[in-house]
Chain A
Amino acid sequence: AQKVTQAQTEISVVEKEDVTLDCVYETRDTTYYLFWYKQPPSGELVFLIRRNSFDEQNEISGRYSWNFQKSTSSFNFTITASQVVDSAVYFCALSAIIQGAQKLVFGQGTRLTINP
């Protein structure tokens, strides 16, 4: 069965610290996609990144970077030089074919608080 685990329920750091959010997934599919979404206090989930299972290159976008390691089934997210605006709940998700339909399976979410 497909499953996504975000073991860190809450993380709190001081501004400008680097922080890594962990994501571990389980799937028997050979082709799949992994996602990260950000949910700020306004409530809307904002898409951050999508990575397919064939591409293990790490990706960097400004202060955000993602480390995909198929060998350990992990897709970790690092924020460098964190800012107060990074405070949000972050969700990792896996696209899976379940009952013939493509669906997203979400982790439990990690609440990140950046303190000034």
Chain B
Amino acid sequence: DVKVTQSSRYLVKRTGEKVFLECVQDMDHENMFWYRQDPGLGLRLIYFSYDVKMKEKGDIPEGYSVSREKKERFSLILESASTNQTSMYLCASRPRRQGEERESKNIQYFGAGTRLSVL
């Protein structure tokens, strides 16, 4: 079974703190993604990674950074948390694109989410 695990379900942090959100997948997937989910806005892509040590900005990268030192782990970092970063954060993973338009491997699998409150 596919498994994407996010280390925390709920986090409460203070403004200015450095926050780490961890995501681990056990499917040997190359691609990993971080989204934030806000009411009325759906899911928006923050960062993604094609492979170890590779990262690309998504649609809303400002205020965030990421780290991918090992294939199975993708960390989202809030360098100095702010109240407007209060949100639900979702991690996803997917196998590498390999002529994927003809294959059934471009499905993203999601973790259960981390609900972050910044006070």
With a CB–CB cut-off of 8 A, which chain A residues contact B50? 101
How many positions in chain A have a CB within 8 Å of any CB in the partner chain?
27
A75-116 residues at the B interface, CB under 8 angstroms:
91, 93, 95, 99, 101-104, 106-109
With a CB–CB cut-off of 8 A, which chain B residues contact A107? 42
With a CB–CB cut-off of 8 A, which chain A residues contact B106? 33, 50, 95, 102
Residue with the greatest number of chain B CB neighbours at <10 A, chosen from A4, A37, A103: A103
> Is the CB of A13 closer than 8 A to any CB of chain B?
no
B41 near A50 (CB under 8 angstroms)? no
Choose, from B17-25, B63-71, B78-86, B110-118, the stretch at the interface.
B110-118
A-to-B contact residues, CB < 8 Å: 4, 6, 9, 31, 33, 35, 37, 42-47, 50, 52, 91, 93, 95, 99, 101-104, 106-109
With a CB–CB cut-off of 8 A, which chain B residues contact A6? 42
Residue of B nearest to A40 (CB): B112
Task: Please give the distance in Å from A43's CB to the nearest CB on chain B.
Answer: 4
B-to-A contact residues, CB < 8 Å: 9, 40-45, 48, 50, 56, 58, 88, 90, 92, 97, 100-101, 104, 106-113, 115
Residue of A nearest to B31 (CB): A102
With a CB–CB cut-off of 8 A, which chain B residues contact A37? 110
A108 near B48 (CB under 8 angstroms)? no
B113 near A44 (CB under 8 angstroms)? yes
A103 near B100 (CB under 8 angstroms)? no
With a CB–CB cut-off of 8 A, which chain A residues contact B48? 101, 103
Residue with the greatest number of chain B CB neighbours at <10 A, chosen from A43, A50, A102: A43
B42 near A104 (CB under 8 angstroms)? no
B42 near A108 (CB under 8 angstroms)? yes
B97 near A43 (CB under 8 angstroms)? no
A45 near B110 (CB under 8 angstroms)? yes
